[in-house]
Amino acid sequence: MWAWLIQRAAAVLLLIVIAAHLVNPFRRGVQAALLALALIHALLGVRALLLDFGLPLRWHRTLFAAALALSAVLFVVVWSWRWY
């Protein structure tokens, strides 16, 4: 249930952050929020797809933790490689 709620909240917040990004695309906070929300939303979506394709439900918590951990790792990697 938490994965579903977090993914939906990330989707709503993405709409708000995209609007803020269109107004001023060079604000670092907006860029960081956009990256973090996009990663969380996408990886939780991949988790949902894997469960829909028949992975056992006992993997629910493992996939949830892996999606959050991988999004944090990818955020750090991508954010540290920015060029400005």
Q: What is the pLDDT of residues 44-65, one digit of tens each?
A: 999 999 999 998 989 999 999 9
Structural domain boundaries, residue 56: 2-80
**Any idea of the CA torsion for 11, 14, 18, 24, to the nearest 10 degrees?**
170
Tell me the Cα Rg of the chain: 14
| pLDDT at res. 57 | 85
- Average pLDDT over the chain reads 94
Contacts for 47 with CB less than 8 Å, ≥ 6 apart: 3, 63, 64, 66, 67
Cβ count near 72 (within 10 Å): 14
Provide the number of structural domains found in the chain: 1
Q: What is the pTM of this model?
A: 0.90
